[in-house]
Structures are given as C-alpha cells and as structure tokens.
Amino acid sequence: MRIERAGFTALKGTRHESRTEVELTADGPVGDRVFCLVDPARDRVLRTVENPSLVRARTCWREGVLSVDLPASTVEGEPAPTGEVRKADYWGRPAAVEVVEGLANPAPPREG
C-alpha cells in the first residue's frame, strides 16, 4: 500500500494538518482526533457537516499543550481531565468522552 498524503487534527472537525510521518496503533493514528467538542444539550459530538465553520480553526497539540487558532484569536491551554465521563452520540453510536478543562482563556490575537 502506498499512502501519499494523510491529514490529522487533534480536535475533531477542525482543519487537517499534513504530516510526513504517521505512527499507527491498533486504535488508529497517534494524535488524530484526540479531542472533540460536544453539544451538552444534545449529548452529541459536533459534526463538521452541521458546523462548517469548524474547518476554519487549526489545532496543534504538542508537549501537552493544545492550541486552537481561530479567525480572531487563539485559545491555548493544557487539557486536564476532570474525571467526568459523558456518553455522547458519535455519528449514531455511543461514545464515552471524558470532559477536560484548561482551554477557557483565549490568548491575545496574533499579529501579522
């Protein structure tokens, strides 16, 4: 098999980042879709097809820090597990997702 391009994102639904190397495990590519956004009113993982503005965000998760670049600012922090696990609908199947905190404060807008 030959793979010419692979796209990854730490936060499901956001813009993919190209990589030249991939580490695969039984659970899939390491670092891909580690985090997701959940609509708490519907207990459902947000879908890009219903929230197309998600693809305007870029994510980077390195050395424990998650950065989400938005059109107007950057949100950055160290996701910390809270111990709370919620069941969320993930394209029609139940998924256990752990709630994290640590991304509430936006970083100053980037210049240039």
Which sequence spans correspond to the domains of the chain? 7-106
What are 18-35's pLDDT values in tens digits? 887 888 899 888 889 999
Cα→Cα distances 59→2, 47, 73, Å: 26, 16, 12
**Using 50, 70 and 90 to split pLDDT, how confident is the model at 110?**
very low
**CB-facing half-sphere around the CA of 2: CA atoms within 13 A:** 1
- pLDDT tens digits along 55-106: 999 999 889 999 999 888 888 999 999 999 999 999 999 999 999 998 755 5
Residue with tokens 């199947």: 93
C-alpha–C-alpha distance, residues 79 and 91, integer Å: 24
State the average pLDDT over residues 12-21. Answer: 87
Q: CA 3 to CA 21: how far, in whole Å?
A: 10
